[in-house]
Amino acid sequence: MSEVVRLYRYKSLLGSRTAVSANELMAALEVSRATLKRDIAKLRDQLHVPIRFDRDLGGYLLEDAHTDNELPGLWFSQEEILALVTIQQLLEQLEPGLLGNKLKPLQSRLNQLMDKHGLASQDVAKRIRIVHAGKRVVQAKSFEVVAAATMARKRLKIWHFNRQNGITTERQVSPQRLVHYRDNWYLDAWCHLRDDVRSFSIDAIQKIEVLDTAAKEVSTKNIDQALGSGYGIFNGAAQDWAKLRFTPERARWVAGESWHPLQESSFEADGSYLLSFPYADDRELVGDIMRFGADVQVLEPKGLRSKVQKGFLEAVGKYV
């Protein structure tokens, strides 16, 4: 019998009668008195199961206040505890303030488990560093409201600022999922104003209200078809394919990158790297191409090539 199964058996045995003697427990679990003492100590100290020995009844029993929640469903190894704490640190650094308060009870419990396993000296926070670039500030309250409505399947009324045209629009949306993309949070939702799936930057939501109306359900397949087939966050149903050529020097980096799930790539004889992928909206794509400067050339389509060319010429004009 494994330790996990055996520890669960204690709960079953102690919960079925008023008190169970040590001899009865040893016989039922086929363990020695020494193992019994170790198990009882672990259940009390590490797993916080309220077991006590009643001298009058001559056996062990559970306190009346005991609930099923007091016996965890998992026992962690040192590696598993460290992995969970690492995840907690990653989440906290990913977006400080958004999830930290909600995870404090879990962090406290994990710290106790780490202490029991001799891991207290490992300062996880000092061993993990996340570097942000272009990160915009999200109000914790706004994120919590959006996240809660998404999970509770409630419709939202939002006032969203469109950075492209500078206009704030009031609309009702049915939240479908939260997206973390390039250090920023987005909400994929059904927009009842446009009667279609849209993606909204959460930091651009200026005001938000939760409505007492059930959210419209949209299948993951349909969301992906509407938003996931193009390039970047400004996506949608793919309209064209971009074909880029990177210099042999830049290829050493780009060849290891994933620009799109459907991308196609190959190397030329001189080491240049060819990359092709579908896109719908080229706003983000143009910027991504231009950051490589002279190390990239747009081969197709002509419209994209012209936009990138125009961007470079305008940039040069500011320096001559």
DSSP sequence for 240-272? EEEEEEE-HHHHHHHTT--S-TT-EEEE-TTS-
* pLDDT tens string 101-157: 666 776 676 677 666 666 654 566 677 777 888 888 888 888 989 999 999 999 999
The residue ranges of every structural domain in the chain are 3-70, 78-127, 140-220, 240-317
Q: Which of 65-74, 126-135, 178-187, 188-197 has the lowest mean pLDDT?
A: 65-74
Q: What 3-state DSSP class applies to 230?
A: coil
Question: Given this model, what pLDDT does residue 232 score?
Answer: 77
- pTM of the predicted model as reported, rounded to 2 decimal places: 0.67
* CA angle (70, 76, 79) in 5-degree steps: 155
The reported pLDDT for the residue numbered 139 is 86
**What number does CATH give the domain 3-70?**
1.10.10.10
Which segment of 12-16, 42-46, 183-187 scores lowest on mean pLDDT? Answer: 12-16
The tokens 């961007």 sit on which residue?
Answer: 311
Reported confidence tier of residue 173, pLDDT bands at 50, 70, 90 = very high
In this predicted structure, the answer to whether residue 92 has a pLDDT above a threshold of 90 is no
CB-count burial class (<10 Å; 0-12, 13-18, 19+) for 12: exposed
The whole-number pLDDT of residue 69 equals 42
The CA–CA distances, whole Å, from 178 to 128, 143, 151, 202, 283 equal 24, 10, 10, 9, 22
Looking at the predicted structure, is the pLDDT value of residue 175 above 50? yes
Percent of the chain with pLDDT over 70: 78
Mean pLDDT of the chain: 85
What letter represents residue 176's amino acid? Answer: Q
Please say if the pLDDT value at position 285 is more than 80.
yes
Question: In the prediction, which pLDDT does 70 show?
Answer: 46
Q: Which amino acid is at 291?
A: R
Q: Which residue has the higher pLDDT, 13 or 128?
A: 13
Banded model confidence at residue 15, pLDDT cuts 50, 70, 90: confident
Residues 6+ apart with CB under 8 A from 108: none
Which residue has better confidence, 65 or 63? 63
Higher pLDDT, 80 or 288: 288
Beta strand 205-214 with 154-162 is antiparallel
What CA–CA distances, in Å, run from 277 to 21, 25, 280?
70, 65, 10
- Return the sign of the alpha-carbon dihedral for residues 174, 176, 178, 181: negative
Structure tokens belonging to residue 189: 């939702």
pLDDT over 80 (residue 94): no
**CA-based nearest residue to 272, from 308, 242, 301, 248:** 248
Q: Which residues pair with 190 in a beta bridge?
A: 174, 197
- Spell out the alpha helix ranges (H) of the chain: 3-16, 22-29, 33-45, 78-94, 100-116, 124-127, 140-152, 220-223, 248-254, 283-290, 302-317
Closest to 142 in 3D by CA, of 189, 100, 205: 205
Residues 217-237 pLDDT 10s = 999 999 988 887 677 776 667
pLDDT band at 316 (very low <50, low <70, confident <90, very high): very high
Lowest mean pLDDT among 14-23, 70-79, 95-104, 192-201: 70-79
Model confidence band, residue 73 (pLDDT cutoffs 50, 70, 90): very low
3-state helix, strand, coil in the chain (%, to 5): 40, 25, 35
- Torsions phi, psi for 124 (to 5 deg): -60, -40
**Residue recorded with tokens 């059930």:** 214
Kindly tell me if the per-residue pLDDT of 76 is higher than 90.
Answer: no
Domain 140-220 listed as CATH 2.30.30.530: yes
Cis peptide before 96 (omega within 30 of 0): no
Burial (Cβ within 10 Å: 0-12, 13-18, ≥19) of residue 123:
exposed
In the predicted structure, residue 66 carries a pLDDT above the cut 60: no
